Amino acid sequence: MHSLAAYIKEIRLKQVKRELSALGLIYSLVIAAVLFFAIKATVVSVTTFRSQLIFSLIWSALLPTIHFSRKDIRFLEITKGSTFQFLFTDYFLLSLIPLCILCYCGGFIAAGFLLTIAIAVCFIPVSRKSRKSAIGESDFIPKYLIEWKSGVRKSNKIVLLVFYILAIALSFLPFFSLFVCWIITGIICGFYQSFEPRNQLRFHHSEPQNYLNYKIKIAAINYLKIIAPLMFIYLLFHPDQWIIIGTALFLFLSILVFTLVAKYAYYSPGETSGPHQIYFTIGLLSLFIPFMVPIPLVLTMTHYRKAVKRLSPYFYGSN
């Protein structure tokens, strides 16, 4: 009988194999090449204690985002005594490459920090309450942002609020607010990882292109309502960084649009995962590897037509 850790490893390997099969050989080779050069560039970059700690913090920020977007927490909670082991095995496998990079570069303290965060995240409760809450169901989130309402309802709202307050309170610290904005961007992009039922596609639109443009527009506008105030406050404390702030805002917005387009490029009603989740991770990490920065922009352009084509069969007005 296999141990639970081996069973989880087997499941994840099968999922990776399925997602790569859906991507196709060319895209799989491109992703493999990008990951190879990304790892190589990271090894060269994390040679000092400061860079190792920053790398550890960046990867640590991804773990809560993934944790809050999980849909199997309730199932794991009713599984006798294996919830922590299941979650930790998942997060350890996810952090295995960064841990190997840090250990290879001698960053054992940073690796220990990352491992500690992986353990701590396992104990963060994920709300699964069905009743309406003051934050999740407030008028702050418009009714047409169904992904946001669903995502906020499933997330730990206190943690989200603490992140936002810290970004304001510690705006005087260099780059801190930008880092928090990156985390918030990752959380919001995580809202778009599930596919809505096909009947919701035709609710307001009869053409796939109109629907996709509408989704991009409302996501971008409401995203700016959240991020722009943080950027503006940070700009007041660091006016000399206005170019960095403007560039960061543009790149954050590009990642959001890319995540949304990639979702519909692989839209499959009834499925809970798809290749778009791999692209989401690549897009989020691209900001920290210079040669990967253009990737979200390029893939958005290449996947837009694919998304429209993918959505066409689900619309009455499309041929």
Look up tokens 């994390």; give the residue: 46
Contact (Cβ atoms closer than 8 angstroms) between residue 259 and residue 253: no
What is the per-residue pLDDT for 243? 92
Q: Which residues contact 99 (CB under 8 A, 6 or more apart)?
A: 111, 114, 115
The C-alpha atoms of residue 283 and residue 199 are separated, in whole angstroms, by 29
What is the per-residue pLDDT for 204? 58
The C-alpha atoms of residue 227 and residue 240 are separated, in whole angstroms, by 19
What is the per-residue pLDDT for 132? 44
Contact (Cβ atoms closer than 8 angstroms) between residue 264 and residue 205: no
Measured CA distances, 70 to 75, 125, 146 (Å) = 11, 11, 17
The candidate with the shortest Cα–Cα distance to 46, out of 5, 105, 2, is: 105
- Mean pLDDT in consecutive groups of 10 residues from the start of the chain, 319 residues: 61 69 66 75 84 82 74 64 76 87 90 90 67 46 72 67 76 83 83 74 70 87 89 89 90 89 81 61 68 77 86 65
Contact (Cβ atoms closer than 8 angstroms) between residue 291 and residue 245: no
What does pTM read for this prediction? 0.61
Q: Which residues of 53-92 are buried (b: 16+ CB within 10 A; e: fewer)?
A: bbbbebbbbbbbbbbbbeeebeeeeeeeeebebbbbbbbb
The candidate with the shortest Cα–Cα distance to 293, out of 301, 281, 304, 285, is: 285
